Structure 1
Amino acid sequence: MNVVDILVQTAERLPEKTAIVFKDQKISYGQVKDLVFKAANGLRASGIGENMHVGLMMTNRPEYVISYFAILAVGAAVVPINPMFKERELVYALNDSESTALIYESHFSNVVINAKEGFITTRTLLAFSGETTPNCEWNKLLDHQPLESFIQRKAEDTAQIIYTSGTTGRPKGAMITHGNVLWMTKTVTDIQETSEKDKVVVVLPLFHAYAKLICLLCPFYKGATSYIEERFIPDSVLELIDREKITFFPGVPTMFTMFVHSPKLKEYDYSSLRIFGSGGASIPVEIIERIKKEIGVEILEGYGQTESTVMITCQPLHGEKVVGSVGVPVPGLELRLVTADDQDVPTGEVGEIIFRGQNAMKGYYNKPDATAETIRDGWVYTGDLGYQDESGNLFIVDRKKDMIIRGGYNVYPREIEEVLYAHPNIIECAVIGEVNDIFGEEIVAYVVTKGEVKEEELSTYCKQSMANYKVPRVFKFIDELPKTTTGKISKVPLRQNDTKRNVK
């Protein structure tokens, strides 16, 4: 067993089929396999082998894919590194994961050079300087003969150590096993009915768990074609969907918000699309409805987290989708909603989401206490709050830590955000709680608008749709909301008041 099986089996079945399209370059499955096995032999010659951990710090490009599979082929585990990391963050991830080596794009050389004095275990640095630079360390890997066979692993062996976003402290490395990845890949392709006829846009950053499995491993498992894009440019993606007859676009809510506000939205033909997939955060109902109206495609929304490999629930591909829900548990997975003392809550009532199944991580690397806190009796505690209807559809209410308690009332920011998103002049919004001497916490809404909107107008608007205690007392008009590299709105800087300089 090895995640590399996904590539090898498809390359043997469809060697001439195009696996990757990147700019003007097309690479077949047979070519990808050959490059992977050459790079793997080069890694082995560099001293990288079984049970080692290798950092991978690259933007979206074919070399990321080749490096990912090559690391796994020699029996090592991949440690995906966010390419936007600065020196301190890079040092932490490599040292915490005890990575032996780092493969990186030369664009980030300054960060790596400035950080390397802090590396404890990372001794081998392999830089990729571009396809036309044959003497760069990464390209030298390809000078080797292909590896004769890849290393077999056990289901419980770690395939990748993926760091959480660190919203509740220092980031933790979730150990995802070969068994986790292979089971999740097969399960998701079955849900989405992926086939070799599919054409998938890869614009989500490949270092992220969601992108790697949905945009890379699932298409490779079935022999589909992945169109790798370096960055998300809304109008360019819309044009690509039309020109290449794309069948599947996986994104995050911010991307769909940008689609509906694009002046070129109605210029293209989207009839080839089978699926718009959304994950990473809950998508506002208003955006779902506008996408369906303007493009004619339903968004298949799912829910998961790093600790779940990728997915916990998903809406059905066929049949009725309950708007506002993130679907039902994926087949083979158990899900519960519990109180603070681990009692199951009745249908329709809010509880913490916990799950167990073959997608559950092995634990956090070198963090037994954090692992014991998150995994209890085989159940993974997500820290997310939600409720289920009688049909089992899950509705995300909020992160447990994001819930606002104002004057003794529990207030869920997402409910307020849904109301604000329905306002015709609001593009994006984020609601947080700020410390208040009288009420404990006060509700503050950060909003990005088009045209002039006054605070009194928004307050009146909210009062028409929700109880008075839920209405934000403060509205802060901002040019742009802070986001993670996956495009997900980040509330951490808002809480830290890092965006004050942008407030209008």
Structure 2
Amino acid sequence: MPSTTDPTEFPATPWELVERAARLSPAATAVRQGTRTLTFGELADRVLTAAHRLRTRLPADGEGTVGLLFENTLEGTVALLGALRAGVPLTPLEPDSTESGLLGVHRDLGPLHLIGHMARLRTLTSAASPDRWQGGVLVDVRELTAPADATARPASLPAPPPDAHALYQYTSGSTGEPRAAVHSQRDLVSGGAVYAHTYAVTPADRLLAAVPLLHSFGMVAALTTALHARAELVLLGRFTPADMLRTMHGRACTIVVGTPLAYDLAARSAASWRETSRPGETVRLCLSSGAALPPEVADRFTEHCGPAVQQVYGSTEAGVIAAQLPQPDGTADAGVGKPVRGVRIRLVDEADRPVPPGGTGALLVRTPAMFTRYLGHPGASERAFRDGWYVTGDLARLDGEGRLHLVGRKDSFVNVGGKKVNPLEVEAVLLAHPGVAEAVVWGEPVEGQASERVRAAVVPRSPLSTAAITAHCRDRLLAHQVPATIACVASLPRTSLGKIRRAAVAATAPAPDRDDPA
């Protein structure tokens, strides 16, 4: 395999991580899905072959963006790394994307070349010719990632520049419209280095990805970290809690990367575990991100499955910001942990002045994996930065041990007649009701007034009157904090990471039951 990297230099692209791993550990297992595996040597060959094939399929003028319908499979992993090696702009997409969703991405990014299973692509792009859609080409992921045949590869393929715009990663859209955050290849590598350093990941580890690799958390905490540490990455394909438990046990996984929803489902499924040992007896570390980790979920998983779950705080835009570390007594750290290596934070008041020690302020950060802008959203990009610092939108405080505690999101506070209501405080009270399984709180403008009313949507565990919930709130909250209306719903809309889509809840929540006013 030809070498394009000086072995004395620190890797700056995912391909350089792959190449280094293939040189140092060629026969070690790199990726596993079920009974199928790729060694690091095989992975390097497949990635380079996919990069060459993709280059021959795309227009010579280099126009357009590659959209990968990204599944947690060997083929999906090779396709992602191959596109990055080819140096083409790439956006990872949900594998179950709809045609209207793809058209929205097309409007954002321009010509879109799609990689996926060809039958699926042709179903999605019904008006397309056999191999084209909206000016872009369709590429079958199986053909792209198949082993090389006996024909020789082209003599060379230029190495991708590590700092060029390479990855357009859509935000979750949990608090508004999803936007494509622009990242470089170096961002991915830097993020993986932070995780590997923070949690002492080594080649002896086996990382189970119980989270979609298409999202920032999975791509960096699982895939890039495994490549950086030359550890084995274990994939589930389609997620089920039973598969997660069986794989944790059967493959002796040592690290799990998941979401609160994945841990919750796995813990519930583990209640019927038939083995003599717990499914996670070899697991030394469980990382959770994508949404806040409810204490009861963490406790249930620890009871039935493995060690304490450690929360990771970060974002698509900034990468990992803070991380909990395992404590000597085996519990999780307080808050969302301490800022990780290379991260700088500021807590400021409304006048951009530092808040006093222990005070609450708007959280601004600088990280090694910072995005550069939102593609096609200059206004939002400008608002996202303040003198080079990323404005997270979160309110936070630091305790005496330097641990970060999130208080809420500044833009989600409800202005009730000039009094500010933190939705998280109201949600905590709602969730304390034994009949409420889930809750979301938001502000709704009052027509003709410069004020808002507090609204809530709850998922009841059993039939429950909104009057009973309101009475529960009145006993525990100030008058202006009590929801003016409460809607009982069967479920709450979520992203693929399990995060509640708050903007969608506010837009679609039914009007309150007039026969049972809150």
Same fold (TM over 0.5): yes
Letter in 2 for 1:316: L
2:79 paired with 1:72: no
**Corresponding residue for residue 29 of structure 1:** 40
- Provide closer, same or farther for how the CA distance between residues 170 and 458 of structure 1 changes in structure 2, counting only shifts above 3 A: closer
| TM-score normalised to structure 2 length | 0.85
Offset at residue 139 of structure 1 (A): 5.0
The code of the aligned residue for 1:311 comes to V
CA gap of 1:47–1:399, structure 2 versus 1, over 3 A, is same
Indicate the residue corresponding to 1:200 in structure 2: 207
Q: Is this contact kept in 2: 1:292–1:298, CA < 8 A?
A: yes
Match of 2:197 among 180, 184, 190: 190
The Cα shift of 1:176 comes to 0.8
Work out whether residues 271 and 304 of structure 2, in 8 Å CA contact, stay in contact via their aligned partners in 1.
no
1:427-481 per-position Cα deviation (integer Å, ceiling 9, x unaligned): 3322223334589333333223334444344344445554443333433332221
* TM-score normalised by length of structure 1: 0.87
Secondary structure of the 2:352 match is: coil
Shift of 1:111: 1.9
Equivalent AA in structure 1 for residue 386 of structure 2: R
Aligned to 2:66: 54
Conserved in 2, the CA contact under 8 Å of 1:254 and 1:489?
no
Farther-moved stretch of structure 1 (360-369 vs 36-45)? 360-369
1:234 maps onto 2:241 in alignment: yes
Q: Distance in 2 between matches of 1:5 and 1:147?
A: 19
User: For residues 122-145 of structure 1, what are the alpha-carbon distances to aligned partners after superposition, in whole Å with 9 as ceiling and x for unaligned?
Assistant: 4322123xx5xxxx5765987864
> Residues 60-87 of structure 1: CA distance to partner in whole angstroms, max 9, x if unpaired?
2111111111112122232112233322
- Residue deviations 1:385-435, cap 9 Å, x none? 222223222222223332222233222222233344444444332222333
Q: Which moved more, 1:429-438 or 1:346-355?
A: 429-438
Give, in whole Å, the separation in 1 of the partners of 2:293 and 2:445.
27
Q: Does 1:334 align with 2:347?
A: no
**Once the two structures are superposed, what CA deviation does each residue of 1:307-349 show, in whole Å capped at 9, x if it has no partner?**
11x2111112455877661112111111112233322222333
Q: Which of 139, 155, 167 matches 1:160?
A: 167
How far residue 186 of structure 1 moved from its aligned partner, in angstroms, is 0.6
Corresponding position of 1:103: 115
Counterpart-to-counterpart distance in 2, 1:141 and 1:442: 62
User: Which digits, 9 at most, give the CA deviation of each residue in 1:283-325, with x for residues without a partner?
Assistant: 22333344334445212111111111x2111112455877661
Say if 1:260 and 1:451 are closer, same or farther in 2 by CA, change over 3 A. farther
Which of the numbers 259, 278, 282 marks the counterpart of 1:272? 282
**Aligned position for 1:307:** 317
Residues 203, 231 of structure 1: 8 Å contact kept: no
Identify the residue that residue 381 of structure 2 maps to in structure 1: 371
Give 1:495 deviation, angstroms.
0.9
Pairwise CA distance, 1:260:
4.2
Q: Secondary structure at the match of 1:4?
A: helix
Task: Report whether the alignment pairs 1:402 with 2:412.
Answer: yes
Note the 1:338-353 alignment, pairs <5 A: 338-353=348-363
* Structure 1 unaligned regions, length at least 5: none
Contact persistence 1:55–1:99 (CA under 8 A): no
Q: 1:439 to 1:238 in 2, by over 3 A?
A: farther
Distance 1:404 1:476 in 2: 18
1:172 counterpart letter in structure 2: R
* Structure 2 letter corresponding to 1:489: I
Figure out how many residues of one structure are paired with residues of the other and give that number. 495
Are residue 209 (structure 1) and residue 216 (structure 2) matched? yes
Structure 2: 5+ residue stretches without partners: 1-11
> Which moved further from structure 2: 146-155 or 247-256?
146-155
Please list the CA deviations of residues 338-392 of structure 1 after superposition, one character each: whole Å capped at 9, or x if unmatched: 2333222223333221111322112223444432221232111122222222322
User: Deviation of residue 54 (structure 1)?
Assistant: 1.8
Is the counterpart of residue 442 in structure 1 residue 453 in structure 2? yes
Q: Deviations over 1:149-184 (max 9, x none)?
A: 653344421231112234676543211112222211
Question: How far did residue 29 of structure 1 move?
Answer: 1.6
Which of 2, 5, 29 is equivalent to 2:16? 5
Decide whether the 8 Å contact of 1:42 with 1:141 is kept in 2: no
In 1, distance between residues paired with 2:203 and 2:227? 9
Which residue in the other structure is 1:476 paired with? Answer: 487
Residue identity (%): 25
Judge conservation of contact 1:355–1:380 (CA < 8 Å) in 2.
yes
Shift of 1:211: 1.0
**Residue 151 of structure 1 pairs with residue 158 of structure 2:** yes
User: In structure 2, how many angstroms separate the alpha carbons of the residues matched to 1:140 and 1:35?
Assistant: 6
Matching of residue 387 in structure 1 with residue 375 in structure 2: no
* 1:17 counterpart residue number: 28
Alignment RMSD (CA, Å): 3.3
**Could you say which residue in structure 1 is the equivalent of 2:181?**
174
Q: CA deviation at 1:148?
A: 5.9
